[in-house]
């Protein structure tokens, strides 16, 4: 349907979006790259000149780097594990015939719409508070000593909070994938003598694999950037400093822009590696 | 009036030439069918005439006027799409009235013409429904209604029946033919189904890979296919095409004989063979017969019920008057 | 196709699903309930669940003390403004990519997606610095523009997938019927695209409303939206459960309601059409 005139009109209509995103991507990116090569501390003498790759070396060799990597991996991995395993189970459950399916769906999806600062605060104070939190009440009811969640098991607590926010997302996507499973395929498998467990592992799970991959990739990108939950609960204390949070602290709290920018460059590279896999899947889907 | 002339029209997408330069004249009031296997360029050709694609070269004239650069809306043509392309958010009435509204006709005139079209197409009771509430056949009629209210110079149909089930297709085929007889407007109809082409057309244009293989009336194509492609494409069941020594006996590279032009006898005949699968349609019976010296089994058509069984030996004799001969290039030998 | 399911089986499913659903929803329910309690009841041991003196007092206190309306207003302006601005820029872009695709369309779409993947923290300082230089730190317009930019890829993608579903033949039919570009947009495309545009607006409003990196780092007083307002409850007010709950309920209630309407679009919007 494309004629010459419609093609040039299309180019003009696309221009603003492309231009804005190009500027939005390139300008800050170049600035970050520039700062990462300089010793720049706005509060202590400003720009102290070009230092080559020193910031990159110092960011990696600082004593907080490896713990931050470890924390990041734990949190991202933990949340992914929880949301995929429970997401599959929940999606399977919601796919069963029942009364009030719509209402249950709404209940399950709700946490996704709660703003991160609210969910972090509500969990921190009303559930995990060692004196008055709901968990403390439950522990005491069983005669146990309440756990001081955010100090004693800070990473587990954060995984719990963040999983609560992301489980709905995983469930919803996996449920959508479940529903697109051709029931004739399952019936064919049944005729071929597959029991329910075999049907799950040989038919349903392979069908879900694409959706699971997508959930993993998208969540990884968002989870690597988790910020508000840590900002509000521990402020990075008790070993909950992730890479993102470490960079934030370097840049805005200690105003060591050069060092923080080098960290930022690492973060960008890391996110792009994940994004590359995601885009490959999405791109394949576009062709169909 | 609707005389459409294509003069050396060609179309290329990038480096790929889908339609090499092509000449064709469609007379006013003619029902022309473009037929060919999928990917032969028939839809592209129709879209070039409609103006939905730019030509890469050549000229399209409508009633003698150069229309090559005229936008689709100004060509005075109406089109019925394969998917019907009804506007889902408008009622049937508004769908049919849309081209009139675009043309700026006043309300009363719009209403009058929509009513008239609805009556012709038996849609009067459905005018206030949305397309989503209609059956396939009804949607098809709305699409036709939207085309006829404009009183176009010609109608373009792009495989309009391919989304209907078999029974409905036969019915709509008759309705469209009937409509053509009544309106006497030029119609160009694209299909891959040679039965539609044979039953509806005044003139059939057989296309392959963007080339016109043959133009003619259904019976001309049936009686004298110009080459083996047309011979094999037109007619059902397909013409038997035989190569090798049997063809050489008739001084040809390939000979063609239609299933209905073969006589079956139990004794004495040109070719001896063994009966394979048979298909009984009641009025006709088709036998697939494997003959010595002929690679492919031959299809033979016998009227009524004939008692031949799997494995029986029979003799076949082609009717010499209806024997088609083709040379090494596949062209008909006169 | 479907076989009869025994009533027991269905009842069992229902019981399990409702229990799980209730557990997942409980923190929200608990927050809403607590917001109607007095502070004493809120920390009572054992907790009171339903039988307490329902009061609206907390809402009044939160309003008074923190000028809640200003934060709410900021949230509305930032989320609404960025969404509308994004739609204005994205509709023409998505329209042309869906209906006049070229060889580069796919690459452009994927590239747009890749900008969404850029970690915010990686460009935190440049943006922060630019805001200072331009004098727009703690400025609503700056946030409108930034949130528009971070969500623009999602908006373009969602609109693209919706437009893609409108068959091209319909637009061609309109062209054959004599519609010019203007009529085509006005009478055919827009009415058919409105449901898609509406869901795109909805989802992006929610995403912008809940955005909590830029809103926390680039605002302090004037432009601070509800995310920042809640973060300010971190301590010590956070220990006043009833007031924290009231503030939280006010911040999430409007979006919960909108969110329930947009469940379906959520999948499409956040997976870039990769899961259907």
In CATH, what number is assigned to the domain containing residue B115? 3.40.50.300
Task: Quickly list DSSP for C192-248.
Answer: HHHHHHHHHHHHHHHHHHH--SHHHHS-SSTT--HHHHHHTTTTTGGG-HHHHHHHH
Compute the distance between CA of residue C242 and CA of residue C62 in angstroms, rounded to an integer.
10
CATH number of the domain that residue C79 is part of: 1.10.3720.10
Task: Say which residue, C19 or A270, is predicted with more confidence.
Answer: C19
pLDDT band at A286 (very low <50, low <70, confident <90, very high): low
Q: Is C160 contained in some domain?
A: yes
CATH number of the domain that residue B264 is part of: 2.40.50.140
What pLDDT, on the 0 to 100 scale, is given for residue C3? 57
Task: Tell whether C177 lies on the interface with B, counting CB pairs under 8 A.
Answer: yes
- Same domain for B136 and B39: yes
Residue in the block written with tokens 């402020």: A235
Contacts of A3 in chain B (CB under 8 A): 52-54
Contacts of A169 in chain C (CB under 8 A): 266, 270
Contacts of C188 in chain B (CB under 8 A): 87
B48 pLDDT higher than 50: yes
Is A4 in Cβ contact with B54 (below 8 Å)?
A: yes
- Same domain for B250 and B116: no
Q: Is C266 contained in some domain?
A: no
Compute the distance between CA of residue B228 and CA of residue B214 in angstroms, rounded to an integer.
11
Sign of CA dihedral C83, C88, C94, C99: positive
Distances (CA, A) of B45 to B72, B162, B207, B244: 14, 18, 10, 37
Q: Is C251 contained in some domain?
A: no
- Same domain for C71 and C49: no
pLDDT in tens, B109-123: 999 999 999 988 888
What pLDDT, on the 0 to 100 scale, is given for residue C271? 66
C-alpha closest to that of C33 among C57, C17, C50, C16: C50
The minimum CA-CA distance between B314 and chain A, rounded to whole Å, is 45
- Which segments of chain C have a pLDDT < 50? 1-2
Task: Say which residue, C243 or B25, is predicted with more confidence.
Answer: B25
Q: Is B331 contained in some domain?
A: no
- Same domain for B23 and B137: yes
Is C206 in Cβ contact with A17 (below 8 Å)?
A: no
Chain mean pLDDT for chain B: 89
| Beta-strand pair B298-303/B284-291 | antiparallel
Other beta carbons within 10 angstroms of residue B19's beta carbon come to: 27
Task: Say which residue, B61 or A129, is predicted with more confidence.
Answer: B61
What pLDDT, on the 0 to 100 scale, is given for residue C1? 40
Cβ–Cβ < 8 Å for A179, A239: no
Cβ–Cβ < 8 Å for A152, A263: no
Is A141 in Cβ contact with C28 (below 8 Å)?
A: no
Of B197, B213, B230, the position where a domain reaches its end is B230
Cβ–Cβ < 8 Å for A192, A143: no
Q: Is C171 contained in some domain?
A: yes
B267 pLDDT higher than 60: yes
Full domain range(s) for residue B271 = 238-326
pLDDT band at A287 (very low <50, low <70, confident <90, very high): low
Is A1 in Cβ contact with B53 (below 8 Å)?
A: yes
Q: Is B332 contained in some domain?
A: no
Q: Lowest-pLDDT range, A185-194, B135-144, C235-244, C265-274?
A: C265-274
Cβ–Cβ < 8 Å for B256, B204: no
C-alpha closest to that of A165 among A116, A227, A103: A116
Chain mean pLDDT for chain A: 83
Contacts of A109 in chain C (CB under 8 A): 259-260, 263, 266
Q: Is B33 contained in some domain?
A: yes
pLDDT in tens, A55-105: 888 888 888 888 888 888 889 899 999 999 999 989 888 888 888 888 888
Partner residues linked to B255 by β-bridges = B242, B325
- For residues B121, B125, B130, B133, the Cα torsion angle rounded to the nearest 10 degrees is -90
C-alpha closest to that of C160 among A10, A236, B99, A101: A10
- Same domain for C31 and C143: no
**What number of helices (H) and strands (E) belong to chain B?**
9, 18
Residues 6 or more apart whose CB falls under 8 angstroms from that of C94 comprise C155, C156, C157, C159, C160, C162, C163
- Same domain for B220 and B179: yes
What pLDDT, on the 0 to 100 scale, is given for residue C179? 83
C-alpha closest to that of B154 among B30, B249, B298, B308: B30
Compute the distance between CA of residue B248 and CA of residue B245 in angstroms, rounded to an integer.
5
The minimum CA-CA distance between B144 and chain C, rounded to whole Å, is 12
Cβ–Cβ < 8 Å for A134, C30: yes
Task: Tell whether A1 lies on the interface with B, counting CB pairs under 8 A.
Answer: yes
- Same domain for B198 and B109: yes
The minimum CA-CA distance between C165 and chain B, rounded to whole Å, is 13
C-alpha closest to that of B190 among B58, B49, B327: B49
A193 pLDDT higher than 80: no
What pLDDT, on the 0 to 100 scale, is given for residue B46? 92
The number of folded domains in chain C is: 2
The minimum CA-CA distance between A3 and chain B, rounded to whole Å, is 6
pLDDT band at B26 (very low <50, low <70, confident <90, very high): very high
B35 pLDDT higher than 90: yes
Is B77 in Cβ contact with C176 (below 8 Å)?
A: yes
Closest chain B residue to the Cα of A2, Cα to Cα: B53
Alpha helix ranges (H) inside B85-185: 92-102, 107-120, 136-148, 166-183
Q: Is B334 contained in some domain?
A: no
What pLDDT, on the 0 to 100 scale, is given for residue A1? 44
Compute the distance between CA of residue C140 and CA of residue A191 in angstroms, rounded to an integer.
62
Full domain range(s) for residue C23 = 7-59
- Same domain for C107 and C49: no
Q: Is B204 left (phi over 0), alpha (psi -120 to 50) or beta?
A: beta
Is C192 in Cβ contact with B72 (below 8 Å)?
A: no
What pLDDT, on the 0 to 100 scale, is given for residue C111? 85
Q: Is C248 contained in some domain?
A: no
> Looking at the domain A4-287, which fold is it?
MetI-like fold (1.10.3720)
Helix (H) or strand (E) holding A186: helix A183-191
Compute the distance between CA of residue C83 and CA of residue B35 in angstroms, rounded to an integer.
50
Compute the distance between CA of residue A164 and CA of residue A171 in angstroms, rounded to an integer.
11
The minimum CA-CA distance between B53 and chain A, rounded to whole Å, is 6
Chains that touch A (3 or more CB pairs under 8 A): B, C
Cβ–Cβ < 8 Å for C276, C269: no
Q: Assess: ipTM above 0.90.
A: no
Is B83 in Cβ contact with C192 (below 8 Å)?
A: no
Nearest to B99 among C169, C172, C178 (CB): C178
Is A106 in Cβ contact with C267 (below 8 Å)?
A: no
Contacts of A25 in chain C (CB under 8 A): 115, 118
- Same domain for B253 and B211: no
A23 pLDDT higher than 60: yes
Q: Is C112 contained in some domain?
A: yes
Of B184, B203, B230, the position where a domain reaches its end is B230
- Same domain for B243 and B214: no
Q: Is B36 contained in some domain?
A: yes
The number of folded domains in chain B is: 2
Q: Is C196 contained in some domain?
A: yes
Structure tokens at A111: 């946490």
Compute the distance between CA of residue A216 and CA of residue B177 in angstroms, rounded to an integer.
58
A147-156: average pLDDT: 82
Chains that touch B (3 or more CB pairs under 8 A): A, C
Residues 6 or more apart whose CB falls under 8 angstroms from that of A42 comprise A255, A257
Sign of CA dihedral C122, C123, C126, C131: negative
Is C174 in Cβ contact with B146 (below 8 Å)?
A: no
What pLDDT, on the 0 to 100 scale, is given for residue C268? 65
The minimum CA-CA distance between A286 and chain B, rounded to whole Å, is 21
- Same domain for C196 and C96: yes
pLDDT band at A120 (very low <50, low <70, confident <90, very high): confident
- Same domain for C177 and C50: no
Q: Is B84 contained in some domain?
A: yes
Q: Is B333 contained in some domain?
A: no
- Same domain for B52 and B162: yes
Compute the distance between CA of residue C27 and CA of residue C248 in angstroms, rounded to an integer.
11
Compute the distance between CA of residue C102 and CA of residue B289 in angstroms, rounded to an integer.
53
Is A3 in Cβ contact with B54 (below 8 Å)?
A: yes
Is C216 in Cβ contact with A112 (below 8 Å)?
A: no
Task: Tell whether C180 lies on the interface with B, counting CB pairs under 8 A.
Answer: yes
Contacts of B98 in chain C (CB under 8 A): 174, 177, 179, 187
Compute the distance between CA of residue B302 and CA of residue B287 in angstroms, rounded to an integer.
8
Closest chain A residue to the Cα of B55, Cα to Cα: A3
Q: Where are the domains of chain A?
A: 4-287
| Beta-strand pair B271-280/B284-291 | antiparallel
- Same domain for C143 and C30: no
- Same domain for B154 and B53: yes
A102-118: average pLDDT: 86
- Same domain for B186 and B50: yes
- Same domain for C95 and C52: no
Cβ–Cβ < 8 Å for B1, B8: no
What pLDDT, on the 0 to 100 scale, is given for residue A2? 52
- Same domain for C26 and C163: no
- Same domain for B35 and B83: yes
């Amino acid at each position: 349907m494309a004629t010459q005139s419609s093609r040039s009109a299309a180019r003009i209509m696309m221009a603003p979006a492309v231009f804005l995103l190009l500027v939005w991507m390139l300008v800050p990116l170049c600035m970050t790259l520039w700062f990462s090569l300089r010793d720049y501390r706005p509060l202590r003498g400003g720009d102290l000149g070009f230092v080559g790759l020193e910031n990159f070396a110092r960011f990696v060799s600082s004593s907080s780097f490896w713990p931050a990597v470890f924390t990041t991996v734990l949190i991202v991995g933990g949340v992914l594990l929880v949301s995929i395993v429970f997401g599959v189970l929940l999606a399977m459950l919601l796919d069963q015939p029942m009364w009030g399916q719509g209402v249950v769906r709404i209940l399950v999806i709700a946490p996704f719409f709660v703003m991160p600062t609210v969910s972090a605060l509500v969990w921190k104070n009303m559930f995990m508070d060692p004196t008055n939190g709901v968990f403390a009440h439950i522990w005491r009811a069983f005669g146990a000593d309440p756990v001081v969640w955010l100090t004693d098991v800070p990473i587990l607590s954060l995984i719990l909070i963040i999983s609560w926010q992301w489980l709905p997302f995983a469930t919803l996507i996996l449920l959508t994938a479940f529903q697109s499973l051709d029931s004739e395929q399952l019936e064919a498998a049944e005729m071929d003598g597959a029991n329910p467990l075999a049907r799950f592992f040989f038919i349903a799970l392979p069908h879900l694999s694409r959706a699971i991959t997508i959930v993993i990739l998208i969540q990884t990108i968002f989870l690597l950037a988790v910020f508000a939950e840590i900002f509000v609960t521990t402020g990075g204390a008790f070993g909950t400093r992730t890479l993102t949070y470490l960079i934030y602290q370097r840049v805005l709290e200690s105003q060591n822009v050069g060092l923080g920018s080098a960290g930022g460059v690492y973060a960008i590279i890391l996110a792009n590696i994940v994004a590359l896999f995601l885009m490959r899947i999405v791109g394949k889907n576009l062709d169909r | 009036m609707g005389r459409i002339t294509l003069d050396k029209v060609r179309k290329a997408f990038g480096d790929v030439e889908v339609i090499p330069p092509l000449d064709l004249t469609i007379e006013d009031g003619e029902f022309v069918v473009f037929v060919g296997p999928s990917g032969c360029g028939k839809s592209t050709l129709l879209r070039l005439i409609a103006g939905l694609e730019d030509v890469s070269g050549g000229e399209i004239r409508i009633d003698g006027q150069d229309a090559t650069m005229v936008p689709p809306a100004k060509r005075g043509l109406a089109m019925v799409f394969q998917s019907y392309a009804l506007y889902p958010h408008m009622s049937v009435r508004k769908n049919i009235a849309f081209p009139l509204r675009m043309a700026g006709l006043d309300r009363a005139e719009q209403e009058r013409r929509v009513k008239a079209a609805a009556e012709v197409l038996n849609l009067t009771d459905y005018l206030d429904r949305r397309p989503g509430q209609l059956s396939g056949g009804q949607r098809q009629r709305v699409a036709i209604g939207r085309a006829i209210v404009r009183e176009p110079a010609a109608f373009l149909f792009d495989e309009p029946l391919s989304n209907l089930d078999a029974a409905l297709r036969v019915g709509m085929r008759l309705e469209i033919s009937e409509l053509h007889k009544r309106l006497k407007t030029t119609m160009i109809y694209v299909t891959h189904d040679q039965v539609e082409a044979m039953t509806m057309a005044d003139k059939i244009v057989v296309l392959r890979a963007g080339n016109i293989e043959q133009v003619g009336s259904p019976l001309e194509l049936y009686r004298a296919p110009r080459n083996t492609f047309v011979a094999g494409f037109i007619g059902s069941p397909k013409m038997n095409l035989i190569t090798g020594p049997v063809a050489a006996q008739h001084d040809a590279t390939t000979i063609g004989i239609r299933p209905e032009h073969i006589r079956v006898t139990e004794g004495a005949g040109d070719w001896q063979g063994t009966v394979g699968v048979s298909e009984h349609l009641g009025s006709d019976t088709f036998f697939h017969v494997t003959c010595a010296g002929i690679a492919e089994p031959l299809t033979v058509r016998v009227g009524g019920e004939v008692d031949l069984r799997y494995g029986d030996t029979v003799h076949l004799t082609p009717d010499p008057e209806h024997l088609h001969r083709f040379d090494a290039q596949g062209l008909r030998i006169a | 196709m479907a076989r009869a399911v025994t009533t027991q089986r269905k009842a069992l499913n229902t019981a399990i699903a409702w229990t799980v659903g209730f557990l997942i929803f409980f923190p929200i329910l608990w927050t809403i309930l607590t917001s109607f309690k007095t502070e004493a009841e809120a920390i009572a041991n054992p907790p009171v669940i339903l039988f307490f003196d329902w009061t609206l007092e907390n809402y009044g206190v939160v309003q008074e003390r923190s000028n809640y309306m200003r934060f709410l207003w900021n949230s509305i302006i930032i989320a609404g403004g960025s969404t509308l601005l994004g739609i204005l820029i994205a509709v023409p872009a998505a329209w042309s990519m869906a209906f006049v695709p070229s060889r580069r369309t796919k690459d452009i779409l994927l590239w747009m997606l890749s900008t969404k993947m850029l970690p915010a923290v990686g460009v935190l300082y440049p943006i922060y610095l630019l805001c200072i230089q331009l004098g727009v730190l703690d400025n609503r317009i700056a946030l409108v523009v930034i949130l528009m930019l971070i969500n623009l890829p999602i908006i373009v993608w969602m609109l693209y997938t919706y437009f893609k579903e409108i068959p091209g033949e319909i637009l061609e039919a309109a062209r054959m019927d004599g519609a010019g570009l203007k009529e085509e947009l006005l009478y055919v495309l827009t009415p058919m695209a409105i449901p898609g545009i509406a869901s795109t607006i909805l989802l992006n409003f929610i995403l912008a409303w809940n955005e909590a990196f830029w809103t926390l780092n680039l605002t302090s007083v004037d432009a601070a939206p509800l995310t920042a307002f809640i973060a300010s409850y971190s301590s010590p007010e956070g220990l006043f459960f009833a007031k924290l709950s009231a503030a939280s309920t006010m911040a999430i209630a409007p979006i919960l309601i909108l969110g329930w309407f947009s469940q379906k679009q959520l999948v499409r919007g956040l997976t870039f059409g990769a899961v259907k």
